[in-house]
Structure 1
Amino acid sequence: MKIPARTLVVVADGGGARVFRNVGDEQYLMLKQEELLEVMNVNDDGPAGSMPPEASGEEIDEATFAKQLAHNLNAGALKHQYDHLVLMADPQTLGQMRPQLHKETTARMLAEIGKNLTNAPLEDIERALQNGKAQGT
């Protein structure tokens, strides 16, 4: 998979996200971490959509984080902070985020990767991106 220079690469799960920027180019991917995001103000901001009554506190926190992350990505797209986006997250987090993503965000998305590499070394993330294990949007 070719990832243009300056592409935003977000690697997330229900509890946090690592935000990278490709400081290389399409030929030579080189990710540089810009941010580390975690769940914030869970009590002030509920989950996306409805949750089943048997949902655990952890599941509610994960859904809330997915919503917060989607809103951050939407704000970045609307402020033109990135032109291209690759979103890598576990399938559950991706599913919680999709309905929350603005059309400006999805228009910038090069690919979604349904894989949890949030705690993986940078080399593993780069390898997954280069191997093209992604679904285009």
Structure 2
Amino acid sequence: MSTTPMPRIPANTLVMVADGTGARLFRNAGTDSRLSLHQDGMLEPKDLDEEGPSGVMPPESDTRIDEATFAKQLAQRLNEGALRQEYEHVVLVADPRTLGLMRPLLHKEVDQRMVAELAKTLTGSPLADIERALSAP
């Protein structure tokens, strides 16, 4: 089994590390050849009762619906940021389910800025582990 090497992550790239319950935002404060992430913010699900994954939240909401709604919110955040020129490059790291929910919702502007995506749960991981995963050959 061969593994595809992780591409170099340009300086100032936005890195979103997410799962169905939260997201951490980082910027690469290093260089194109030396990754050095600095946390730039955190995102948590909001207004889950007022919106669902495809509109208004049904009254029988459960964890999976909440996670899908949050994935939609994360995709919207990336879409808005791309359209406002808030980042030139982006890396998306998310658990496989969240990544799968987000992919079809991402605007073509996000796709054009996507340097890499990694299907891995790293939201609660130490910074060194996230950097290691993104620097892996």
The amino acid across from 2:37 in the alignment is: L
Distance 1:73 1:48 in 2: 17
Tell me the secondary structure at the aligned position of residue 12 of structure 1.
strand
Distance 2:86 2:61 in 1: 35
TM-score scaled by structure 2?
A: 0.89
User: Aligned-pair distance for 1:56?
Assistant: 6.2
> 1:87 and 2:60 equivalent?
no
Tell me the secondary structure at the aligned position of residue 97 of structure 2.
helix
Distance 2:23 2:68 in 1: 13
Distance 1:19 1:102 in 2: 19
The amino acid across from 1:37 in the alignment is: L
Match of residue 21 from structure 1: 27
User: Aligned-pair distance for 1:38?
Assistant: 0.5
Distance 1:56 1:119 in 2: 25
Match of residue 131 from structure 2: 126
Distance 2:70 2:42 in 1: 13
Match of residue 48 from structure 2: 42
Provide runs of 4+ in structure 1 moved above 4 Å.
Answer: none
Instruction: Note the residue ranges of structure 2 that are not aligned, 5 or more in a row.
Output: 1-6
Match of residue 119 from structure 2: 114
Number of residue equivalences: 128
Change (3 A) 1:92 1:24: same
TM-score scaled by structure 1?
A: 0.89
The amino acid across from 1:27 in the alignment is: S
> 1:74 and 2:79 equivalent?
yes
- Identity among equivalent pairs (%): 58
Checking the alignment, whether the CA contact within 8 Å between 1:48 and 1:100 is kept in structure 2 is no
User: Aligned-pair distance for 1:75?
Assistant: 0.2
User: Which residue of the other structure, out of 8, 11, 14, is the alignment partner of 1:5?
Assistant: 11
Q: What value does the CA root-mean-square deviation take over the aligned residues? A: 1.6
Instruction: Note the residue ranges of structure 1 that are not aligned, 5 or more in a row.
Output: 50-54, 133-137
Match of residue 52 from structure 1: none
User: Aligned-pair distance for 1:48?
Assistant: 4.2
